[in-house]
Every structure is written in C-alpha cells, then in structure tokens.
C-alpha cells in the first residue's frame, strides 16, 4: 500500500507517493497557485476537461488578482485567484477572501441580470478562487472603444444593468432581513479602504506621495486641486456618502475594463470592490469612463465615435432613470415607501451622486496612481486633454445639482474646453 507525506514547495503543496514517486497536488489548504498548479487544480476539481493536454495562461491585467485561462482547444474556463497582496503594489495587504466575495456578488447580480454576468461554475473557499465562464468571444469595452468600434445599444444595456442591479438590491425591493443578511456577507473593509484613499482622499492631498503627475500638469493640480478648499470640501461630502450610504449592492469598480462587449450584448466582470454602498457610485463610474473614451476619440478626430459616445451617455442615464422608475412602481414591497414622490427623489439623489462620482473618478485616474490607457496612450495632446477633463470634473463635483440646467453633459464639457483654451 502506498504511503504519502506532505511536501511544501515554493508555491504549492503536494503529496509524494513513495512507491510511484509521482507528485499529486493537494488543494485542502491555501497556497498561491502558478500555472502548473492551476492545471492540476482544474483537473481535480472539475469535469470540464478529460484530456490532460491543457493550455494554462495567466492573462490578468488588473491591479489585484491573478486570472488564468485553461483550454483544451475546444472548451475553456477562467480561474480567478487571490494573493495576499494586490498586484499593483505590495503596500496593499488584502484578505484572500475577496475572490470568494466577488463570485458571490456575481451570483447575486445574476439573479436579476443572468445574461449580463459570467456564469459561475465553482467558488472554492479553501483555495480562494472562482471558476467561471470564459468570455473569449467578447472584447474588453475599453479596447473596443479605442479601436473605434460602435455598439448601437450599449447605452441601453448599461442603463438596464445599472437599474436592475442597483434598484433590486435596494430597500425598496429586497426584504429588510434578506438585504441585511446579504449586506453582512458582502462587507468589504479592505477594498473599501483602498477606494476611500485612492478616490476620495489621495488625489486631493497626496498624503502618501503616491500621486503620479507629469511635470506639465503639476502647476494646474497644485492650484486647482490641492489648494482648492471648496473642491476638497465637496470631495469630503462625497466620501461621507461612500462611508455611510448602504443603498444598493454595488459593483464598486465599474469602469470600461470591467465590461466585456460583442454584437449580442455585454458581460460585467470583476466586482471585487463590491459592497452595499451608494448606488450613484456605479452610475458615476460608467459616465466617467465613457467620457474618457470620448476624450480619446476627440484627440483622434473620430467624429462618428464622438457623436455615438455622446448619445450613449445620454442613453445610459435615460434608460437607468426610466427602468429604475418602472421597477420601483411595480415592485416596491414596503407600503411606507410606495410613493411616487419618494421614487423621484431617490432616483434624483442617485443621479446627483453619480455626477459627483464621475468627477472624482476622472480626477483620481489623472492625478492618482491607477491610470487609464484612454489617457496614457495620448501623446502631444495628453496634458491639454487632462486639464480639460480636470476642469470638467471639478464642476461635476461641486455642482451636481446644476447638471440638469444644461442641454447635456457635453455642454458643460465643451464649456470646460473653452475655459482651458
């Protein structure tokens, strides 16, 4: 009879059969997996593949987690896996449970928009990973937009996703006990702390000296960001909402790199920053990153793309507003909350929060440490574009209640452009 003993390798744990001298990996205690370990893991934990001739590639380009694609040439799946630190920086020490929470959040949102999120095949609490649908037949939205691609129904799809996930997880629709139980499961202190710092604090104070600025931008940021007391007060007010407003189960990082798209629809991924927070946070992130795409198209002279993106942002807000109202009118459970004026006020408050968040997201992506390629790929026009966007963002943060007096967001954006000129 074979006897076994446990051997700890550099990144893995395995059992060595003394008779056969074959190594067999064990997955009954956590370790950070490499590609070889992921191959053994997928064969042991699933019946997705029978052929051991598998290709395993680490394809993650995000700031936090490791993402592996496993394929036999016909079938493929994704394994998302957590380490103890963020990939962007070892300064961020994180719980490996973030991937588990992410998988469960996708399942929670999948109750309302099953066609808009990847299918989840396995959530492994021991190995801190999730096995999910591969989206190889989709493109990352940011990349597609930079390639001048147009998706006519994108605004409606994003607006529908936002309304379904945010309104249906609010107190209007979720029974109080169910919401509180889900809220307990989705508490996310470490990643919220990152957002609280990188979005709401550091871009305005550079208190950890992590902001990244080109020398040409430094003077503008010093005068109009770091030394603008009114702007910093508005940012602080927004931060208090983020800290205290447990409104909806939000994605928490809904940028154009977290959306996959093709001619048939969208898939939203990577909600590792998700928790019960202000609904406007997700809406504002969508607005901000479509604006980044618009600025990129503008510098490239892609006029058709610009016109479509302007229309898309308007459709996001219009679809969100109308879909949210329909859900509230038809499915509000609490008799005390079932009031048209309360519905209108709730939606209006989300929109105002969204405009503030859009401004904050623009500033943090330009001033802070986590950049977006829509801006970094620009060359001679980069600083001018950054200043225009920062000017626009400052208005959004300080005057979210005045947005409706303009014909569109782009009227404000063009006004910012003229001020910079």
Rounded CA separation 153/266 (Å): 10
DSSP state letter for 222: I
| Cβ–Cβ under 8 Å, residues 286 and 254 | yes
Distance of CA 361 to the CA centre of its chain: 12
pLDDT of residue 94: 83
- 3 state DSSP class of 266: strand
Q: What is the pLDDT of residue 61?
A: 72
Q: Which residues of the chain have pLDDT under 50?
A: 1-22
User: Residue 190: which residues within 8 A CB-CB, separation 6 or more?
Assistant: 93, 94, 95, 98
Closest CA to 140 of 270, 249, 250: 270
| Residues 71, 54 contacting (CB under 8 angstroms) | yes
DSSP 367-417: HSS---HHHHT--TTHHHHHHHHHHHHHHHHH-GGGGGGSS-HHHHHHHHH
Rounded to an integer, what is the distance from CA 390 to the centroid of its chain?
21
Cα atoms in the 13 Å half-sphere on the side-chain side of 167: 29
Nearest C-alpha neighbor of 82 from the set 97, 60, 62, 104:
97
Exposure of 181 in the CB half-sphere (CA atoms within 13 A): 6
Q: How does pLDDT run across 262-318, given as a tens digit for each residue?
A: 999 999 999 999 999 999 999 999 999 999 999 999 999 999 999 999 999 999 999
pLDDT in tens, 199-241: 999 999 999 999 999 899 999 999 999 999 999 999 999 999 9
CB atoms inside a 10 Å sphere around CB 365: 25
* pTM (2 d.p.): 0.91
Residue 108 and residue 112: Cα distance in Å, rounded?
8
> What is the SS3 assignment for 212?
coil
Task: Indicate the Cα dihedral angle 208, 225, 311, 304, nearest 10°.
Answer: -90
What the chain holds in terms of domains, given with CATH numbers, is: 4-133 (3.30.200.20), 139-420 (3.90.1200.10)
Element (H, E) at 170: none
């Amino acid at each position: 009879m074979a006897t076994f003993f446990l051997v700890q390798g550099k990144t893995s744990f395995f059992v060595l059969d003394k008779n056969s001298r074959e190594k067999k990996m064990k997955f009954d205690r956590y370790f950070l997996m490499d590609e070889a370990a992921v191959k053994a893991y997928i064969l042991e934990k699933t019946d997705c593949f029978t052929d051991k001739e598998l290709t395993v590639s680490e394809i993650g380009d995000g700031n936090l987690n490791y993402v592996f694609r496993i394929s036999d040439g016909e079938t493929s799946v994704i394994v998302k896996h957590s380490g103890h630190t963020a990939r962007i920086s070892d300064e961020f020490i994180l719980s490996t449970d973030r991937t588990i929470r992410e998988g469960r959040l996708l399942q929670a949102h999948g109750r309302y928009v099953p066609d808009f999120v990847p299918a989840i095949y396995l959530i492994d609490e021991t190995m801190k990973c999730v096995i999910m649908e591969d989206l190889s037949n989709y493109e990352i939205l940011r990349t597609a937009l930079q390639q001048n691609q147009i998706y006519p129904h994108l605004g409606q799809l994003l607006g529908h996703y936002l309304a379904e996930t945010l309104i249906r997880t609010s107190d209007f629709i979720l029974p109080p006990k169910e919401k509180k139980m889900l809220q307990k499961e989705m508490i996310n202190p470490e990643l919220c702390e990152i957002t609280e710092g990188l979005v709401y604090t550091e871009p305005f104070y550079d208190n950890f000296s992590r902001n990244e600025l080109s020398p040409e931008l430094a003077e503008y940021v010093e005068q109009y960001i770091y030394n603008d007391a009114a702007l910093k007060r508005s940012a602080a007010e927004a931060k208090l909402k983020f800290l205290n407003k447990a409104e909806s189960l939000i994605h928490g990082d809904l940028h154009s790199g977290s959306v996959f798209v093709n001619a048939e629809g969208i898939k939203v991924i990577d909600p590792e920053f998700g928790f019960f927070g202000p609904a406007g946070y997700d809406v504002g992130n969508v607005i901000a990153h479509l604006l980044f795409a618009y600025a990129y198209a503008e510098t490239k002279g892609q006029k058709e793309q610009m016109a479509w993106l302007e229309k898309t942002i308007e459709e996001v807000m219009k679809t969100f507003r109308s879909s949210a109202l329909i859900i509230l009118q038809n499915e509000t459970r609490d008799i005390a909350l079932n009031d048209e004026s309360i519905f209108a006020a709730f939606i209006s408050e989300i929109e105002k929060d969204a405009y503030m968040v859009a401004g904050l997201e623009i500033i943090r992506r330009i001033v802070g440490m986590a950049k977006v390629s829509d801006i970094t790929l620009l060359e001679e026009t980069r600083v001018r574009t950054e200043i225009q966007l920062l000017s626009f963002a400052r208005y959004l943060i300080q005057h979210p209640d005045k947005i409706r007096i303009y014909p569109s967001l782009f009227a404000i954006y063009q006004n910012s452009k003229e001020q910079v000129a």
